[in-house]
Amino acid sequence: MSLLRVIKKITLIDFIKGFAVTLKAFFRKKVTIQYPEVKTPLSPRFRGKLALMKYDNGEERCIACKLCSAVCPAQAITIESEERDDGSRRATKFEIDAFKCIYCGFCEESCPVDSIVETNIFEYHMTANHQRIQTKEMLLATGDKYRQQTIDDKAKDSEYK
């Protein structure tokens, strides 16, 4: 054991340094945010509740390429598709298991038509177990409801992509 280590142990210098940090924090003004009355600002990159977007003409964007399902590390996305009369393919079933989803954003990044997006909604809950499966209709409704807010957030973040 070196002499320096012995001196440190005898004088309790590490303990005193740690206690000084505690004392500094003890006398600082505390910052407490009174949530939910006061909301903190969210980053445009915040990843919250998933939604499906539509084109301006009202047609859904999803072309059922299943890239989001393939890239999902939690395997939370289920897609079934069928071909339309005009030869294009659309999703007949698009479900996301909200309990499995880890909100990583890989599905949003992989989508070639920007159909699936993550909104900045984090204040939502499920009261029953069957509500954890978010269906295509639920996701489209969320996309319609928060369309402009999502578009604005994506525009703010576009310079970093």
Angstrom distances, CA of residue 123 to CA of 36, 119, 126: 10, 11, 11
Residues of the chain with CATH 3.30.70.3270: 50-160
88-101 residues labelled b (16+ CB within 10 A) or e (exposed): eeebeebbbebeeb
Mean pLDDT, residues 131-160 taken together: 90
70-87 residues labelled b (16+ CB within 10 A) or e (exposed): eebeeebbebebeeeeee
Answer whether CATH 3.30.70.3270 is correct for domain 50-160. Answer: yes
| Residue 53 contacts residue 115 (beta carbons within 8 Å) | yes
Q: What distance lies between CA 89 and its chain's CA centroid?
A: 28
Average pLDDT (19-46) is 89
pLDDT in tens, 53-101: 999 999 999 999 999 999 999 999 999 999 988 888 899 999 999 999 9
What pLDDT score does 142 carry? 94
Is the pTM value of this prediction over 0.85? no
The CA distance from 132 to 98, in Å, is 5
User: Would you say residue 51 has pLDDT above 80?
Assistant: yes
Residue 140 binned pLDDT confidence (cut-offs 50, 70, 90):
very high
